[in-house]
Amino acid sequence: MEYYHYLILLGSILLVFLFLLLIILYILKRMFHYRIDKKPDVPLFEAADFEGLVAKPFSVPRTKKLLLRGFIYSYGPISYEKMIVLSSGMGPGHLQYTSLIYALAKQGYLVVGFDNRGCNLSDGKAIGLPYEATIDLLLVLKYLKNQPEYQLTTFYGLGHSLGGYAVLTSLINSHHYFHKVVAISGFDKLSKVASKSPIMRGLIDLAAFCGYGPRAYHSASHGIKVSQVPTLFIYGDKDQNILPVMMPLTPRKNLTIYQRDGFYHSPYLTAKGQDEINRFFQGTVPFNPPIDFRLASEIDPDIVLMIDSFFNAS
């Protein structure tokens, strides 16, 4: 009889633990249950704002009812030799990066920019947990790879912040198609950003496993290790999201790390661009006048040259 009591007690404990995990999963999903659309008071640049930049629209089914939308950008005569697929950071989609897209397109790349689920041009009531960004990226990659004109194209990955995480975790998938990748200020995994407690991190991973399976345990650093894809990781030394505890990277054969001193979460900008971003996000001065988005998206040409040189290096 005591044997059954122990089984009942054990079963009750397991049910309570499972219930706890489901509550954590619910809380996590609620934290990311919102759309991010373009704000009328923060203008975002489009292809028409840059002379010679051409944007070809495309869409990819996310589900039977949802579409991911974006553009394939080019500058000058179109060459199908090389393509950069850009995965965006959290915000109103890829139009945050049109200045960067323009700079890279001028280097001869086709540049793909798309909006993740629940962002600006794409469908969806919510952005969802970070794992969704990796799923979005892999779907877009599969679509592009299946287009006849890109059968001989070399694909490069570029991601910032959430996009950096998506690009690096996509490498865990055997069909990522990337020849090389650049991750700018990418975080390692959700649980490490959400908590400093090892116990809480473990619970978050387990809870996410209930909704996303093994993907919940995928990390950016693991993607670099298992894929051996040449990777350039760029971050600012003042970025509190990319401390060693968040992104425990050390140089390895397929990994080059570049720390940009004096920069925060967007080290691809000029110093003046960073100052304008800081004014907006950190309130270093009263937010008046409104943000100068052209200044806030001013791209450092040295970073563009670094990315281009990395992709073109043999």
Q: Which CATH number belongs to the domain containing residue 289 in this structure?
A: 3.40.50.1820
* Residue 232 β-bridge partners: 182, 256
Examine residue 157 and state whether it is found in any structural domain, yes or no: yes
Q: Is 154 within 8 Å of 179 (Cβ atoms)?
A: yes
Number of domains in the chain: 1
Confidence (pTM): 0.91
Examine residue 41 and state whether it is found in any structural domain, yes or no: no
| C-alpha closest to that of 44 among 301, 298, 294 | 294
Examine residue 252 and state whether it is found in any structural domain, yes or no: yes
Cβ atoms < 10 Å from Cβ of 90: 16
Examine residue 5 and state whether it is found in any structural domain, yes or no: no
> One digit per residue, pLDDT tens: the chain, 314 residues?
567 767 777 777 888 878 888 888 888 888 888 899 988 777 789 999 999 999 999 999 999 889 999 999 999 888 899 999 999 999 899 999 999 999 999 999 999 999 999 999 999 999 999 999 999 999 999 999 999 999 999 999 999 999 999 999 999 987 778 999 999 999 999 998 888 899 999 999 999 998 899 999 999 999 998 988 999 999 999 988 777 666 677 778 899 999 999 999 999 999 999 988 887 766 544 545 577 888 888 999 999 999 999 999 97
Q: Which domain holds residue 211?
A: 49-312
User: What does each C-alpha distance from 83 to 141, 144, 151, 180, 220 come to in angstroms?
Assistant: 11, 10, 11, 11, 22
Q: Is 89 within 8 Å of 96 (Cβ atoms)?
A: yes
The two structure tokens encoding residue 193: 């950003």
Examine residue 198 and state whether it is found in any structural domain, yes or no: yes
- Residue 288 zone, left/alpha/beta (φ > 0; ψ -120 to 50; rest): beta
Q: What is the largest CA-CA distance in the chain?
A: 82
Examine residue 21 and state whether it is found in any structural domain, yes or no: no
Per DSSP, the chain holds a count of helices (H) and strands (E) of 10, 8
CA 112 to chain centre: 14
The two structure tokens encoding residue 9: 């007690």
Examine residue 44 and state whether it is found in any structural domain, yes or no: no
Q: How far apart are CA 144 and CA 152, in angstroms?
A: 11
> What is the 8-class DSSP label of residue 20?
H
The two structure tokens encoding residue 239: 């970025």
